[in-house]
Structure 1
Amino acid sequence: MLKAMIVDDEAPARSELKFLLDELGQTEVVAEAASVREAIEKLKEYPVDVMFLDVNMPEATGLQLAEALQHLKFPPAVVFVTAYSEFALEAFKVSAIDYLVKPVETERLSQAISRVREHVSLHVAAQKSERIPVEKGGKKILIGIDKIRFVMARDDYAYLQTDTDRYFSTVSLAQLEKRLDGHGFFRVHRGYLVNLSMVEEIESVSGGTLLLTLNAVDEKIPVSRRRVSALKKALGL
């Protein structure tokens, strides 16, 4: 059963959502919070699989909380439950699994929970098997960390390049950097994370920067000037 936290500044809204979740019987609400600050404190005590977030709350918004959660190595899934439909695009930019508009229908909530279960199962499998969940052609795929040549940021998302294909990830580059920590990856640029074991050629270019050629990849990867020294040290040069 999924463990959940409800974050909403209105107590009746929290009670109604908890009632619906209890009725569906797939989620155990282990914590509630009336603000972002309270949610962060309770998350330390109650690790959860999913957080149901309102958007507008005192002091900080649910969107800000969702963005902060992305910096965790293994963040909980996020489902927004709000009276405002206009924040959906922003919600998915901070890796929301779903976006529900109040009043919430039971069937729609059930669909959201199914998406969360799929997301959690995929990420648990990835953590255990040293694989990263990605998307390609509408399908969710697990690719081995050792297959990744580089990771490239695109807005709030990322693309992972292997020797044969490029895959989309709803996870940000910053979060993937944490996930890949200890696996030989290096942040060579604000927009690129490189598998050092795949570096085959280093080319000096004007301005004191570098271009990297990786195994089985045609695209050259730029190295920012401020990362050159650290990269050379990491490569033993």
Structure 2
Amino acid sequence: MTPPLLRVLVVDDERPALDELAYLLSRDERVGEVLTCDSAAEGLRTLQQTDVDCVFLDIQMPGLTGLDLAQVLSRFRSPPQVVFVTAHEAHAVDAFELRAVDYVLKPVRADRLAEAVRRVVAGGERSPGTGQDAQIPVERGGVTRFVDRADVTHVEAQGDYARLHTAGGSHLIRTPLSTLEEEWRTAGFVRIHRSLLVALAHVREVRMDAGRCSVVVGGPPGPDGGVQLGVSRRHTRELRDLLLRRGES
């Protein structure tokens, strides 16, 4: 069955950019209707009166910004999907923390916009924290990079932040460990300590010493390979059961 055509809203305070984006979207065979607004405040009024499938949203606008509007939309009972369209890379982390489906940089290419529409149709399959191939935006020195979640060996709590550890280094993100534990459980991440999540796929060894359990993640097996992480007593049995089931599958 052919999926229904999308109704989308484009919000941008710059008329040329607004018209260009609306034109490109109107040419996409998956889009049935394109609404436009030249401010976030007007966009909010429209969204309170009209159901749309997705909002293509500029970030830097006078008054209410695109990020502000996205935060308001996140509290809707059935929020539309959000694609940010902006000339600035610096807001990518904030955008994806608001569960944006995509983050498209201006000037917008038709093929790149078509990919954003594909992700909307697919229900945001590339949104961070969901899907087995999720990519996590991390920012360092004003540059946003994307880390494959499959490369993350373990996650360490640092207050309201979390530090992702990979073989190539570590990355701090503005997401509490408790949130990642809930969202990444289906991807094989389990809590082994109040301040640690571990990716079961990266566990190389389980060690017992004087009744205390630890695991080794990353690197080759052996005394000099990987990183050793302590497992709290309350999480030891659950972890060992999960690893046994993994070995039997």
TM range, smaller chain: 0.5 to 0.7
- Relative to 1, partners in 2 of residues 1:63 and 1:156: Cα closer, same or farther, differing over 3 Å? farther
Structure-to-structure mapping, 1:1-237, within 5 angstroms: 1-119=5-123, 135=130, 137-138=132-133, 155-156=174-175, 158-159=179-180, 166-167=185-186
Deviation per CA, 1:198-225: give whole Å up to 9, x if none: xxxxxxxxxxxxxxx9xx979xxxxxxx
Name the SS of the counterpart of 1:109 in structure 2: helix
Partner of 1:192: none
Does the aligned pair in 2 maintain the 1:24–1:110 contact within 8 Å? yes
CA distance in 2, matches of 1:217, 1:38: 51
Name the SS of the counterpart of 1:119 in structure 2: coil
Q: CA RMSD in A?
A: 3.2
List structure 1 segments (4+ residues) > 6 angstroms apart after TM superposition: none
Deviation per CA, 1:13-45: give whole Å up to 9, x if none: 111001111122211344211111111110122
CA distance in 1, matches of 2:27, 2:71: 30
- Relative to 1, partners in 2 of residues 1:160 and 1:72: Cα closer, same or farther, differing over 3 Å? farther
- Relative to 1, partners in 2 of residues 1:17 and 1:167: Cα closer, same or farther, differing over 3 Å? same
Does the aligned pair in 2 maintain the 1:55–1:81 contact within 8 Å? yes
Amino acid across the alignment from 2:7: K
Query: How much does 1:160 deviate?
Result: 6.5
CA distance in 2, matches of 1:4, 1:20: 12
CA distance in 2, matches of 1:55, 1:136: 26
CA distance in 2, matches of 1:98, 1:41: 23
Name the SS of the counterpart of 1:100 in structure 2: strand
Equivalences, count: 148
Q: Name which structure has the greater RCO, CA cutoff 8 Å, separation 6+.
A: 1
Name the SS of the counterpart of 2:78 in structure 1: coil
Does the aligned pair in 2 maintain the 1:4–1:48 contact within 8 Å? yes
Name the SS of the counterpart of 1:78 in structure 2: strand
Higher helix share: 1
Does the aligned pair in 2 maintain the 1:2–1:26 contact within 8 Å? yes
CA distance in 2, matches of 1:90, 1:46: 26
Partner of 1:207: none
- Relative to 1, partners in 2 of residues 1:159 and 1:90: Cα closer, same or farther, differing over 3 Å? closer
Amino acid across the alignment from 1:34: D
Amino acid across the alignment from 1:138: D
Does the aligned pair in 2 maintain the 1:79–1:112 contact within 8 Å? yes
Amino acid across the alignment from 1:84: H
Q: Which has the larger radius of gyration?
A: 2
- Relative to 1, partners in 2 of residues 1:42 and 1:98: Cα closer, same or farther, differing over 3 Å? same
Name the SS of the counterpart of 2:62 in structure 1: coil
Name the % identity.
35
CA distance in 1, matches of 2:90, 2:182: 33
CA distance in 2, matches of 1:160, 1:76: 25
